Amino acid sequence: MAIRLQKYMAQAGVASRRASEKLIVAGKVKVNGKVVTELGTKVNGNDFVEVNGKLIEQVETKEYFLFYKPRGVISAVKDDKGRKVVTDYFTDIPQRLYPVGRLDYDTSGLLLMTNDGELANKLMHPKYKIEKTYVAKVKGIPSNDSLKQLRIGVKLDDHHRSSSAKVKILSSDKKTDTAIVSITIHEGRYHQVKIMFEKVGHPVKKLKRERYGFLTLDGLTAGQFRPLSHNEVHKLEKMVSNKR
């Protein structure tokens, strides 16, 4: 996404935005080899910007957002079928963001968005065992035996078995033969929560991720997002530090 030249310069550490504007007006800045004095000029990562004859390299500011993904949205930056993707909600953010992991098309809930590839890769690595809590509406009312199976772990496929999980029934309705169940896992295999409930005979009718580590959806509604605080980013970094 194109941004104003003075902002581009400020993000690259050349000078403050106001000082960058003065450099532009003074004819000290070139874009793609041509002197630019118009403050409304916009550039992107494909443009070459020189200040006083020196080419500057854009250092992209790292951004971190907590996003409440609605159902019916793809956890990707683009979709070849033209369906809505998570980045469609961040069109005013100049940085190129991408999701940390994924939520299924029909699953809503907490999804982290960032351009910090290093932190994203660590958060997704299974060795750090980041807990993720989901709330599922399932068919039928799970018995104590079914809950025990989920807590111990179930066979997902021929090669994988789920690790132990924290599971509890939040509510149940005998009239509709459904239950609302909270489940906390630290893995992230494809369709894992749905497969786990399917294996114990209680297919998921609706699924939402409500917690990621210490982060929650408090204060947000579907489609909304907020930036993470410096303290929250620091806590995430600490969770996946090599010292752990």
Of 69, 88, 30, nearest to 217 (Cα)? 69
End-to-end Cα spacing for the chain: 37
Of the candidates 43, 37, 60, the one whose C-alpha atom is nearest the C-alpha of residue 5 is: 43
Q: Is 80 a catalytic residue?
A: no
Catalytic residue among 47, 104, 145, 218: 104
d(CA 107, CA 114): 20
By three-state DSSP, how is residue 219 classified?
coil
Alpha helix (H) residue ranges in the chain: 5-11, 17-25, 117-124, 144-152, 192-199, 230-239
Nearest to 107 by CA among 224, 216, 208: 208
Question: What residues contact residue 127 under an 8 Å CB cut-off, 6+ apart?
Answer: none
Residue positions annotated with a catalytic role: 104
